[in-house]
Amino acid sequence: MKRIVIADDSATARMVIRRCLEIIGLGDAGMVEVPNGREALARLKEAPTDLLVTDLNMPIMDGETLLKWVKGSPKLTDVPVVVITSAGNPAKEALLSDLGAFAVLDKPISPATLLKKLEPLMQ
């Protein structure tokens, strides 16, 4: 992967995600960090992106809205979206999957759980 966008309003959460991505072997990818969905959309339109990792609860534009925009855009619809949230449950996970999320993970994430979900994209 060459470019990954990480969207979370917490700098700490973004750092945890970045470190997990580095640990599972994606450290060479260019990582773009943004604090909300609107900025994520702007950065996604700047350059081809191989993966979007987003929080669910963010100000300005939340992760669910961001997912809808990405999957509704012909230019962005193929970008795999991983949603990481502290407010997940099976019903929410099913909804996000229906909206096109590649994977939904509960916080706190670990490199092992992230690797398990991303392995198909890394092959």
List residues near another protein by CB under 8 A.
10-13, 15-16, 19, 57, 85-92, 106-110
83-112: b (≥16 Cβ within 10 Å) or e: bbbeebeeeebeebeeeebbbbbebebeee
Output 56 or 81, the one with its CB closest to another protein.
Answer: 56
Output 10 or 65, the one with its CB closest to another protein.
Answer: 10
Q: What is the dihedral of CA 93, 108, 10, 88, to 10 degrees?
A: 20
Closest separation between CB of residue 13 and another protein, Å? Answer: 5
Closest separation between CB of residue 14 and another protein, Å? Answer: 10
Closest separation between CB of residue 19 and another protein, Å? Answer: 7
Size of the chain, expressed as the number of residues it contains? 123
Output 77 or 89, the one with its CB closest to another protein.
Answer: 89
CA distance 18 to 5: 10
Output 77 or 86, the one with its CB closest to another protein.
Answer: 86
Closest separation between CB of residue 46 and another protein, Å? Answer: 26
- Secondary structure of residue 55 in the 3-state scheme: strand
